[in-house]
Amino acid sequence: MKSSYLEILKEYPQDTEWARDWSKITEVFDTIDYLEELFQSFDVTYLRELQQQMLILNLKKYAWSLQGLILEKYSDRRTD
């Protein structure tokens, strides 16, 4: 007998939580990409351009660390 999607979600509520968290981290990466595009449209000095690039890199590093935390959080739950 095949289980319905809702029955599976009731059995594994962490999957909906994971999907919600993953959606948020995807939105963060999309926002960083959008911000990077906006920065490229500015006509600024070389020093400002470097500052913008450093900001984007730091935002990406932070987002990657969040992504790692999410993966770790839910992989630990799967092994329990």
Of residues 26, 46, 43, the one with CA closest to residue 34: 26
Looking at the chain, how many residues does it have? 80
**Which has more confidence, 61 or 79?**
61
Is 8 domain-assigned?
A: no
pLDDT category, 54, cuts 50, 70, 90? very high
Is 48 domain-assigned?
A: yes
pLDDT category, 14, cuts 50, 70, 90? low
Print the domain residue range for 47: 43-80
Q: How far does CA 66 lie from the centroid of its chain?
A: 7
Is 76 domain-assigned?
A: yes
Give the total number of structural domains in the chain.
1
**Which has more confidence, 56 or 5?**
56
Q: How far is CA 46 from CA 6, 27, 50, 68, in A?
A: 54, 29, 6, 33
User: What's phi and psi for 2, nearest 5 deg?
Assistant: -85, 130
| pLDDT the model gives residue 3 | 53
Is 65 domain-assigned?
A: yes
